[in-house]
Structures are given as C-alpha cells and as structure tokens.
Structure 1
Amino acid sequence: MTTFVPPGYRTIAAPVETEQEIKRSRFICFLTPVADEEEARAEIARVRALHPKARHHCTAFVLGERGQLKRSNDDGEPSGTAGAPMLDAIDGSELTFVVAIVVRYFGGILLGAGGLTRAYRAAVAEAVTHAKILRFEPRERIAVTLDYSTAAVVEAEALRRGWSIGEVEYGAAVTLRLGIPPEDREVAAERIAAHTAGAATIVDEGFGFVSVGAVE
C-alpha cells in the first residue's frame, strides 16, 4: 500500500504591520504567523486591545498543512465586504498558519460595498508583499548516532542532498537529527551505512514538516 505524503506549505516568517489610507479611512493590517486557532484568537484579542478606538477589527485566518481550517469576521462591516476578501488575499498568496487583522479607523467617507471589498483585500495583499515567506516540506525525521570521525562526512552528504540538519548532540558519540524527504529514506540509510561501515545507529523520530528556506 502506498503511504500518503501530504504536500508542503507556505507561511510567513515573522509578523508584518502595514498601513494604507483610502478616502481618509486608515486600514492597518497585522499579518502574523500562528500555530493554531488559540494563537490566532489571542493575536486578534491583542490587536483589539492595541486599537480600542478603531471602528472595525476585521479578521481572517487559515490553518493546517493543507489550509483546511478557515475563518473570517466582518466585525460590523456589511456582510462579505471585509473578512471574505481578506481570506481571498491569504488564499491567493497560498499561505497557511497565518492570521490577518485589519483595523479600520473611519475617515467620514463611505466606500460602498465594492470599495470596502477592494480596500480590505488590498490591505492584506500589501502586507503579504512585505512578508518573508517560508516553504515547509514533509520530512522523515531520524536521529543518527555515529563516531566523531564520520560525522562530518555524513553532514556533508546531508547538505549535498538537501536533507535538513537539526539539533546536533556531542557526547561519547555524535547524534545528528536529520530531516529526509520520504522518497530518500532508503537512500539515506544506505549512504549512512556506507559512510560509517555500518556502525551508525538510526532511530526513526516520526514524520513532520521542516523549513527548507525562504521563497524568492
């Protein structure tokens, strides 16, 4: 039976704050990476407390490796004119594990449904352009314990093949924690055995996602 391997995902590396003025209304966007719904709602509460006098605090967040959890809120704006277009901007950027809060200070000029939709979508899209975007890929996590004399060779092999190198422990022996693409698992075992004359110990530490760097 073939094992299902979920695809990778994209998220942002750090919080971003941007501001736009449209017809005298201020739209301040807070775009923040979050791990789960609890963190997303905590960030929403934080921004609300930071801007208690704002007319609206509209929100959208996407969670899950496949972006399977999505929530949005218009916070008093006409239905569908704020949260949904914010969510569209996140989806259009192919991001997940992120929350967007757009704070609006009303400037006295009504924008209409179309104007609001464009403004809220643009606020999030603008924040995304200022964010550093990271790509996460599925990896088989293994711990490799080996002699000091062969550790550098195995590290070099990992770097050459694009395997991620995590924590390294130094004791009586060296333990390398590697992230291996699922399709390379057998190759990894073979190469490590070849470099260490079969003396290395490999322990499976489960499946997860690791950052493979920034998206250009």
Structure 2
Amino acid sequence: MPDPGQDSNFDDSFLTLARSSEGLYKDKGSKFYFFAFPVQDEQEIKELLADLRKKYYDARHHCFAWVLGKEGLDYRANDDGEPNHSAGDPILGQIRSNQLTDILIVVVRYFGGTKLGMGGLIQAYKTSAAMAIEANEIIEKQVKIRIQVQFPYPQMNEVMKLVKTHDLDIIAQEMTLDCQMSLEFRQGLEQRVTQALVDIEGLELSTA
C-alpha cells in the first residue's frame, strides 16, 4: 500500500482507488453485489447511486458509504432499510480501515429467503466492502490547486522553464502578446511555485 507520508516535505497526499470495481458475495441464498468507485464530489455520488438503483431496481437494499476530502471529514453511511448500523457502518469501517477517501462503496442485496441476523448482516456487508476494495487498486494522489497566470510573451521561456522544473500541469493556455495560462500542481508546492512566478517580471497570477 502506498504511504501518503513518504514525502516528509508535503502533507497533501491521500489514498484512494484507481478505478471502479465490482463483484458478488453470497451468503445463505442472499446475493450481495458490491461496487467501489473513486469519486470527486457528492453530485457524482448521487449519479452513481441513481444509475445502480435504475439497473438493480428490483433489489431490496442499496446500502452504501462514502468519504470525501483529504482528511475524510465529509462522509455518510446508509443502511437503506437494513437494521440500524448493520450495513452502512460496516462498509464505512472498511473504507476507514484502509485509510481511503474520495471513495464510494455500494452493496446491493437480493434477499435469499434466510435471515442472516444482525451479526450475519454486519459480516456480509463488511466482507462485501472488503472484497470491493481487494478487487481494486489503492493509489496515492495529491490535493491539487489551480492558478491563472498572465504574462508578456517575452517571458514565455522563463515561465515554461518553471513549469518543467516543478512538473506543473498546463490545463489551458492562450498565446498572444499577453499570454494566459492555467496551471495545476500539488498543494505542497504552492508557496514555492507562487513565489517563483511572482519573481517573473510582468507576470500576474490569480486563483482559478
């Protein structure tokens, strides 16, 4: 597993999933279809949940948990009709135990005729969430910030040298007599990059 603290100079890293994953867990006739997604915001989460409800419209329960933000302070767990804390919390627990954020895990249950009991439900949802993560890949990402810069064309070489030195991403650019550029980079570089940009004669910067 990547170590978000491996670069002691920065505190802008977090762990999340590389892609979406899915699978099936069975217990006493009940089927638990599990899904895991890397997500950016609540709107994306709502859309993913709506898509799954439409696809699995006949399922009795769509239980889920999600976490957003580097510190994981924005989160939710939903039992969707299962006994309180028997589904959403076990899913959230697996997200927390893997130190993940910007993630949504959904477990869609089809009842198989045999009740699992509180303990059985907790174990089934915990196992389903763990399998969703295991079927994926945990990666390290950085919190990104974006700024806009405007500068005279003769300063282009100096700006591009800075872009290359700090491995900045050029999101958009307009090359005229007065050039404009949108740059994105990891949060930990903010002070270093903005100071270097300010030192370029004639350059103006603002947040995106």
Contact 2:13 2:140 in 1 (8 A): no
Equivalent residue, structure 1, for 2:207: 205
Which residue in the other structure is 2:35 paired with?
30
Aligned mates of 1:77, 1:173 — CA distance in 2: 60
TM-score, L = length of structure 2: 0.74
* 1:187 is aligned to 2:189: no
**Paired residues of 1:62 and 1:96 also in contact (CA < 8 A):** yes
Contact 1:89 1:121 in 2 (8 A): yes
Deviation at 1:57, TM superposition (A): 1.1
Q: Residues 105 and 152 (structure 1 numbering): CA distance in 2 closer, same or farther, change over 3 Å?
A: farther
* Number of the residue aligned with 1:168: 173
Q: Normalising by the residue count of structure 1, what TM-score does the alignment of the two structures yield?
A: 0.71
Give the distance between the partners of 2:180 and 2:33, measured in 1 at CA.
47
1:24-80 deviation line (CA, Å, top 9, x unaligned): 432112223444434433432331221122232112122344322221121232322
Rounded to whole Å, the distance in 2 between the matches of 1:151 and 1:13 is 35
Count of residues paired in the alignment: 194
Q: Match of 1:69?
A: 74
Q: Which residue of 1 aligns with 2:141?
A: 135
One-letter code aligned to 2:35: F
Correspondence for 1:212: none
Unaligned runs of 5+ in 2: 1-9
Shift of 1:113: 2.8
Distance 1:145 1:17, change over 3 A: farther
Change (3 A) 1:63 1:187: same
Does the residue aligned with 1:155 lie in a helix, a strand or coil? helix
With over 3 angstroms needed to count, the CA separation of the structure-2 counterparts of 1:142 and 1:118, relative to structure 1, is: same
1:84 Cα deviation after fit? 0.1
**Equivalent position of 1:83 in the other structure:** 88
Taking a change above 3 Å as real, the CA distance of residues 58 and 176 of structure 1, as seen in their structure-2 partners, is same
Which string of whole-angstrom CA distances, capped at 9 and with x for unpartnered residues, describes residues 75-102 of structure 1?
Answer: 2323222100111122223333332221
Mean CA deviation greater in 117-126 or 133-142: 133-142
How far apart, CA to CA, are the structure 1 residues paired with 2:44 and 2:141?
Answer: 21
Identity %: 30
Flag structure 1 segments of 5+ consecutive residues without an equivalent: 207-216
State whether residues 138 and 182 of structure 1, in contact with CA within 8 Å, keep that contact through their aligned partners in structure 2: no
Cα distance change, pair 146–134 in 1 and its aligned pair in 2 (3 A): farther
Choose 74-83 or 18-27, whichever is displaced more: 18-27
Q: Is the 8 A contact 1:16 1:32 kept in 2?
A: yes
Tell me, what secondary structure is at the counterpart of 1:80? coil
> Equivalents in 2 of 1:81, 1:58: separation in Å?
10
**Greater CA deviation, 10-19 or 42-51?**
10-19
Per-residue Cα deviation, 1:118-163 (whole angstroms, up to 9, x for no partner): 321232232233156461324362414342x653553343233233
